[in-house]
Structure 1
């Protein structure tokens, strides 16, 4: 029976325990805001289970906390990696060496592996193009690189629009919708005869087979796209820093609507999730790649804290308690979304008005509280501002818009002579 190993990460305020099984268990410290903030366990690397030592456990846990790939040490020449893409129309493998290879699947036996010596196997990714060597290849990198490669292929085919600045965190978003729209537009007869995805899989499998037997093969697809970096509770992004007074800070993002900040030097009150929100909606607010943008928000906030010698409100708190909001209401419906400035509030309100008018009351909007940023049966939209005298009182800032009575001055700020309550 392997010895139970424990590793305490002081900055993260987490304790990791491995008892020889397939999971590494996590135990939260007092600065973690609520139960379930982090996963209860993470998967132990397959090869590490055979050689885990205290140092190996620390290496794996540090890698997870920093959002890095697990150092598995897998020998791909002896234990090749395989996957299938494009509805199993393309087989992909890595057997060690300088390239990742792929081959079209046999139409009659799509899930049956092709022989290793088949001439259809062709290189699709050069490790050197991504700054990799066989010694630094991991299964996580292979998975995300191949998924990014398929997105790059869709861009080359004109199915999916490329990002102006490729961002690993957002790369590949919207691919499924793009495939559906492209297929309906370009393969209408096949869609009618089969189904949208059936037509797509038939077309892409045929396209792959035809390309592979050309003299140049998939050379034009070589090294397409970039490696994806999907974030989740199992694979978070974290960033550590320290204030001038020595207070240690952790910034954590699981890929959702909130970036959180915790500190092992400032224990949180259990359940006080709102008090740990650093930033809302990084995807929507970021100008350029998301992670560098978040880090810049962190650095600016820390610089302000150090300059004022106090812990100032986070960007999330400034929005959460911001002075502006739009309210969407209708039969049995009441939703609101907060904004930091008047300009943002009115722009969002007018966009919601146009959506409601053209979609029979169906509106998508940016909320900081709801997990579902959509509303149906919206009949009224108003812009409000928080009363400076009463924090819980919201005052109308303009005449509301109503779907049944869309007056010309709706969502136009009141003049100074008009009351706003």
Structure 2
């Protein structure tokens, strides 16, 4: 049996343990919420090229915590990487060397890998363009790079909107919705004969095969997309700081709707999930590239911190307990979004109304209790204000808007005495 290795990261208040298996287990200290905060484990590579030691464990765990690329986890010459995309229509592989290759699947055996020597295999991504080599490539990087490549392919095809200045934290967002909307607009006759997704898969399958049959093959798609990896649970963004009195702070973003703050020195204040919310919805609030914007919010907040008062309230706290909200309802649907001011609430309500009427009831909004910031079949939207007498009671502030009775005075505040 391999020796069990353990590494404790004091500032992060995390203990990593590897017992010889394929996973490194994480155990969070008292400063982290006890439910759904950190993943239970991260991948632990062990190959003939790498002897897994205490030093390599620490390097790997530090790389994960800091959002760096985790050291190479496999010899792809001996153990090639393979995946399928576009619903098994396109097979992708990496066998070591300078390129990632792809080939259309066999239409009669879509779920079976193509022969290694098939002439259909063509390069689609050059490692050098992404600053990678065969010695630094990891399975996580391959997975993210291929997903970014697919987003770039959809942009080339005009299916997904091209970002003027691509932001890794946003790149690829809305792809599924973009595919549905593009298919409805461009393939109406095929949708009637089949279905929306059936029409899309038929079209993309034919497009792939037609391209591969041209003399240039997939050259128009080569190196599509951006090379930066997005922030995710497996590659978090973290920032550490220490106050003048020595209080240690950790800021974390896993790419979702919450930016968190924890402190191993103030576990009582930061031990519950609600109390660890530093910022809500950075994507919607950011006024520029997301990661620099988050760090600027942190810098401004730290300037107000006073550890003797158990730290300052966070920007997320103000929104979490915001006195205004819009409520979106429909058949089997009830969601709400919170706001700090009346102006923000009414602006969001009108935007949601416009989305509901132009996209068949599909609305995006800033929830605070769910990671799903969209709702389908929204038929009614109302603006509400928290009751000053009862914290859990919400009162209607204006006449609601309804898709069935679109009154001209909807969203006009009620007269109050």
Length-normalised TM-score, structure 2: 0.84
For residues 216 and 240 of structure 1, do their structure 2 counterparts lie closer, same or farther at Cα, with a shift above 3 Å needed?
Answer: same
Contact residue 147 and residue 228 of structure 1 kept, 8 A: no
| Counterpart for residue 153 of structure 2 | 153
Q: What runs of 5+ residues in structure 2 fail to find an aligned partner?
A: none
What's the offset of the Cα at 1:322?
A: 3.3
Contact residue 22 and residue 49 of structure 1 kept, 8 A: no
Which whole-Å CA distance do the structure 1 matches of 2:356 and 2:198 have between them? 34
Contact residue 16 and residue 24 of structure 2 kept, 8 A: yes
What's the offset of the Cα at 1:409?
A: 5.3
Which shifted more, 44-53 or 235-244? 44-53
Larger radius of gyration: 1
Which whole-Å CA distance do the structure 2 matches of 1:122 and 1:266 have between them? 55
Contact residue 171 and residue 228 of structure 1 kept, 8 A: no
- Would you say how many aligned residue pairs link Structure 1 and Structure 2? 414
Which shifted more, 228-237 or 342-351? 228-237
Map 1:18-417 onto structure 2 (within 5 A). 18-47=18-47, 51-227=51-227, 229-268=229-268, 272-305=272-305, 311-326=311-326, 336-352=336-352, 365-369=365-369, 374=375, 381-384=382-385, 387=388, 392=391, 399-401=398-400, 403=402, 411-412=411-412
Which whole-Å CA distance do the structure 2 matches of 1:197 and 1:329 have between them? 27
Contact residue 361 and residue 379 of structure 1 kept, 8 A: no
**Cα deviation code 1:49-92 (max 9, x no counterpart):** 97221111111111221223321352222322222222222222
**Cα deviation code 1:226-280 (max 9, x no counterpart):** 2474555444332222223322111122332211100111113686221111011
For residues 72 and 360 of structure 1, do their structure 2 counterparts lie closer, same or farther at Cα, with a shift above 3 Å needed?
Answer: closer
For residues 333 and 5 of structure 1, do their structure 2 counterparts lie closer, same or farther at Cα, with a shift above 3 Å needed?
Answer: closer
User: What is the DSSP-based 3-state SS (H/G/I as helix, E as strand, rest coil) of the residue aligned with 2:173?
Assistant: coil
Which shifted more, 88-97 or 8-17? 88-97
Q: What runs of 5+ residues in structure 1 fail to find an aligned partner?
A: none
Contact residue 324 and residue 386 of structure 1 kept, 8 A: no
For residues 13 and 324 of structure 1, do their structure 2 counterparts lie closer, same or farther at Cα, with a shift above 3 Å needed?
Answer: same
Which whole-Å CA distance do the structure 1 matches of 2:370 and 2:100 have between them? 43
Which whole-Å CA distance do the structure 2 matches of 1:105 and 1:360 have between them? 35
Which whole-Å CA distance do the structure 1 matches of 2:172 and 2:333 have between them? 34
User: What is the DSSP-based 3-state SS (H/G/I as helix, E as strand, rest coil) of the residue aligned with 1:134?
Assistant: coil
Which whole-Å CA distance do the structure 1 matches of 2:34 and 2:323 have between them? 28
**Cα deviation code 1:174-227 (max 9, x no counterpart):** 222322333343334443444433333333232222222323222221110124
What's the offset of the Cα at 1:124?
A: 1.2
Which shifted more, 366-375 or 325-334? 325-334
Please provide the CA RMSD for this pair: 3.6
For residues 111 and 228 of structure 1, do their structure 2 counterparts lie closer, same or farther at Cα, with a shift above 3 Å needed?
Answer: farther
Which whole-Å CA distance do the structure 2 matches of 1:394 and 1:110 have between them? 55
Contact residue 100 and residue 127 of structure 2 kept, 8 A: yes
Which shifted more, 62-71 or 1-10? 62-71
